[in-house]
Amino acid sequence: MAEPVVRIPDAKVALSTASVYPESTATAFEIAARLGYDGVEVMVWTDPVSQDMEALRRLSDYHRIPILAIHAPCLLITQRVWSTDPWTKLQRAQAAAEKLGASTVVVHPPFRWQRQYARDFVAGIWRMANETDVRFAVENMYPWRYRDREMLAYAPDWDVTKDDYRHFTIDLSHAATARTDALHMIDRMGDRLGHVHLADGRGSAKDEHLVPGRGTQPCAEVLERLALSGFDGHVVIEVNTRRAMSSVEREADLAEALAFTRLHLASAVKVPRP
């Protein structure tokens, strides 16, 4: 009987610049290159470098590491980044992706108080997606919880599979916080799953973004399923390293996350030797 060999799938593994916070966007490029990531996802936020396309291009060229995705400024702390108008933010994210060679723009569903934006969001995302080759991958979120109360902060819904989008982003930490089954969510996304934020969680009311393997989410199973399905998007490590006591500890966490991801992407794909 022929011995099996491992065939590594084509999916690239990227580092989110958010994974090095409170370090800078520039530090994320340096770490990603040193550890051997395939690229970076730029979280556009309050760091001026993350908002500057020329600065990002110089970092990418200097470290010889591509920018694979742009995360639009959708967080509470980025409400004034790249304009206060949410559609302008998405237009600038699209322009950045096109100029920097990124294939994907990650976007959150609107906050419920952004009423006009929420009302037009699904149709607007389709309209923008029809105007570019860049994927607008809408990310699953979660209900906000305080003690025994639950607040639905996102519209049309935190569960983006309830609406019609061309592409989705699955975030496993968000699935943990929502206390929903990530594998079932991936089934609902089907072939519209275009992007993955890989992180772990334990079902806390807080969005944890743990290193994969340190929580209760099916991180390994998700990666194996992606490999077997011929997933052609990117897997992005988006973890919280704020509690790292040193840069060495932070890099060790990010190296562990990369090793975990590559191991489980490869372990699912075995073919016989010819």
pLDDT in tens, 42-96: 999 999 999 999 999 999 999 999 999 999 999 888 988 899 999 999 999 999 9
- Residue 87 has a pLDDT of 97
- Residue 1 has a pLDDT of 46
Structure tokens at 46: 């309050």
**Closest by CA position to 168, among listed 115, 233, 230:** 233
Structure tokens at 102: 């990124």
Helix (H) or strand (E) holding 117: helix 115-129
DSSP-derived letter for residue 20 is G
Rg for the chain (alpha carbons), in Å? 18
The answer to whether domain 6-265 has CATH 3.20.20.150 is yes
Q: Give the SS3 label for residue 210.
A: strand
Question: Other CB atoms closer than 10 Å to residue 162's CB: what's the count?
Answer: 9
Contact 90, 78 (CB under 8 A): no
Question: Other CB atoms closer than 10 Å to residue 80's CB: what's the count?
Answer: 9
What are the extents of the domains in the chain? 6-265
Buried b (16+ CB within 10 A) or exposed e, 10-44: ebbbbbbbbbbbebebbbbbbbbbebebbbbbbbb
CB under 8 Å to 185, separation ≥6 — which residues? 140, 159, 161, 170, 175
Contact 148, 175 (CB under 8 A): no
DSSP-derived letter for residue 40 is E
Cα of 86 vs its chain's centroid, Å: 19
pLDDT tens-digit map of 81-111: 899 999 999 999 999 999 999 999 999 999 9
Contact 142, 174 (CB under 8 A): yes
- Cis omega before residue 156 (within 30°)? yes
- Residue 10 has a pLDDT of 75
- Residue 271 has a pLDDT of 52
pLDDT of the chain, 274 residues: tens digit per residue:
444 555 566 789 999 999 999 999 999 999 999 999 999 999 999 999 999 999 999 999 999 999 999 999 998 889 888 999 999 999 999 999 999 999 999 999 999 999 999 999 999 999 999 999 999 999 999 999 887 788 889 999 999 999 999 999 999 999 999 999 999 999 999 999 999 999 999 988 889 999 999 999 999 999 999 998 889 899 999 999 999 989 999 999 999 999 999 999 987 655 555 5
Long-range contacts of range 250-259, CB-CB < 8 Å, 24 or more positions apart? 250/20, 250/23, 250/31, 251/31, 251/34, 251/35, 253/211, 254/15, 254/19, 254/20, 254/31, 254/35, 255/35, 256/211, 256/213, 257/19, 257/198, 257/211, 257/212, 258/13, 258/15, 258/35, 258/36, 258/37
pTM to 2 decimals? 0.93
* Burial of 106: CB neighbours in 10 Å, binned 0-12, 13-18, 19+: buried
Helix (H) or strand (E) holding 224: helix 219-229
